Structures are given as C-alpha cells and as structure tokens.
Amino acid sequence: MWGLAPVVGKKIIAGAFRKPFRVLPVTLSGSLGRIGSLEVRLATTRKDVAKAQRLRYKVFFEEGGAIPDARAALTRRDADKFDAFCDHLIVIDHEGRSRTGKKKPTVVGAYRLLRSDVAAKKRGFYSSGEYDLAPLLARHPDKRFLELGRSCVLKPYRGKKTIELLWRGLLAYIRAYDMDALIGCASFEGANPLKHAVSLSFLAHHAGAGEDWRVCARNGLHVPMAMLEQSALDQRKALAGLPPLIKGYLRVGAKFGDGAVVDKKFNTTDVFVVMPVAEMDTRYLEFFGDSERAA
C-alpha cells in the first residue's frame, strides 16, 4: 500500500522527488539479488511502477500483438485497476541504455504480485475474470495465496540470468509473507487454441491439478484442453511447444486448471496455474533461495 506513517518492523523507502513511497517488510526493502549488472527488487515508487508498465506495453502490445485501448496507446503503458494495490517485482539492468545511447538503469523484467489478504480487501484476483476461484478458496480458507501476473522480460534479456533473478525475488517474497500457494494465468501466444492442441493436451493429461486444487474456466470461456487422446501425444513435441514460463512452472511442480481461455485483447490462450509451496520441487527452492549458488 502507499502510505506515509511509520510502521513497526518495516522500513520506509522514500521515492525520488517526494513521490509517494511504498512500505515494505525489512527483508524486502532492498536488493533481493544481483548478477552482474542485473538486480532484482520490488518497486518502491510510482515511477518504478510506471517503468514496469512501459516494459509490459513493449512486450505485450508492441511485440505480442495485444490490442491497446485509447489510453494505453496514448501513454504507451499497460496499466489497469490492479496496479495500484499490487506489488511489482522488477529486474533492472544498471548498464542499460536510453534511446539516445546514454547509460541509464532500465527495467528489463517484471512480475505483478497480489496476495490473497490484499485481494480480499480490494477487487479480488485478476485471474477470477477468467477462472472460478471461489471453490478453490473455499476448500483452503486458511491458506495464503499469491497471484502471479503480468510476467514479462525484454527480448534481449530472455535468458537464464533474468529468470533466475525473478525466481530469487519471488522466493524472498514468498518467505517474507509466508505464502502457501502460487496461482495465476500463464499464456500461449495467439488466440487460436487449436495451434497449441498438442501442448494443451499434454498439460491436461500429465499435469492437471487434483481435485483439492482444481480450478475451472468460467462458463462461456471454457475451452477443453485435452483435444488429443493421451495415447496419441508426442511428448517431445508437446514439451517443445510450451512457452518458457510454463516450462519453468512445470519444473518446480506446477499443476494446471480445467480448461483454457482465449484472451482476445492480449492475443493469447491462457491456462490456470497452481503451485502449492509445500509441493514445489525443493531442488529449485534451495537453488534460487541460495544467493551465492544462484549468482
């Protein structure tokens, strides 16, 4: 939240030019990791959030074919009502360059984070527009959920270092707030699910969430994922067709919901991801949680 009053056990980070500042737990108030010129931390000012929104515009609209409304086209930012109360994890290249070639720290990766306690007080989860989350939340009334969204990385930085830093930042956040499960939508490029029939079928047959964690796409939006019989699947082809983000989720033990959803605005085919922290692969948690090994 944005605020001015001191908070016990938390550190106040002042924004540049007296901008409103973000109040964060001490463990999240500074750098969450660094590899070379790249650093991961949470956004602490409105200016930080604006930089993340501009990055999202570049990736989703200029590169990905999403359709901007008039405001987005004018501001060249991907912004919505959720940004004001979400936390924003950002990766910064301290040796980045401006359009004129001048050295300038540049936001090259981002994640938007929404905790269930915040969602309950505000507008709910973003992914609830596509998936019915009520049964999941009802089955786990005492669990703390963290929604991951708006994940993006600038094209030249889509490599191991940036992904490692984003995961290190996520794990620091999970531990600071003692989160129990990660949820959210992940996307395939394009609004034609048939182009991804092999990969979607693979997720349905081999990585579907059990009943306890199952989430269904909303009525009217639900697109069956198991388009091919399990016996007809080419597993190698299915894995090759998965977006890198979804491959990463699979590696740490993610499961997927029932039904894909076509998002015409963003020109994507979305799937629902759920990752109970207790069931995530400890090898990855240990690696990304160890700053020396990850570096």
> Residue range 64-73: average pLDDT?
94
Comparing C-alpha atoms, which of 127, 102, 108 is closest to residue 51?
A: 108
- Is there a contact between 73 and 60 (Cβ–Cβ < 8 Å)? no
pLDDT bucket at 286, cuts 50 / 70 / 90: low
pLDDT of residue 99: 67
Q: How far is CA 79 from CA 117, 128, 153, 249, in A?
A: 22, 18, 16, 25
- Is there a contact between 198 and 241 (Cβ–Cβ < 8 Å)? yes
Q: Which residue has the tokens 């919901």?
A: 257
Helix (H/G/I), strand (E/B), else coil: 281: coil
Is the confidence at residue 2, as pLDDT, over 50? no
Is the confidence at residue 123, as pLDDT, over 90? no
Model pLDDT for residues 176-231, shown as the tens digit of each residue: 999 999 999 999 999 999 999 999 999 999 999 999 999 999 999 999 999 999 99
pLDDT of residue 45: 93
Pairing mode, strands 268-276 and 255-256: antiparallel
Q: Which residues contact 151 (CB under 8 A, 6 or more apart)?
A: 110, 111, 112, 166, 186, 245
pLDDT bucket at 262, cuts 50 / 70 / 90: very high
pLDDT of residue 97: 74
Which has more pLDDT, 246 or 23? 246
- Is there a contact between 44 and 15 (Cβ–Cβ < 8 Å)? yes
pLDDT of residue 194: 97
Domain ranges of the chain: 10-294
DSSP letter for each residue of 134-188: HHHHHH-TT--EEEEEEEEE-GGG-SHHHHHHHHHHHHHHHHHHT--EEEEEEEE
DSSP 254: -
> Residue range 228-249: average pLDDT?
94
Model pLDDT for residues 5-40, shown as the tens digit of each residue: 333 344 433 333 334 446 788 889 899 999 999 999
Ordered alpha helix ranges (H), the chain: 46-56, 70-75, 116-121, 134-139, 160-177, 197-206, 235-240, 244-251, 282-289, 291-294
CATH level 3 topology of 10-294: Aminopeptidase (3.40.630)
pLDDT of residue 102: 75
pLDDT of residue 18: 39
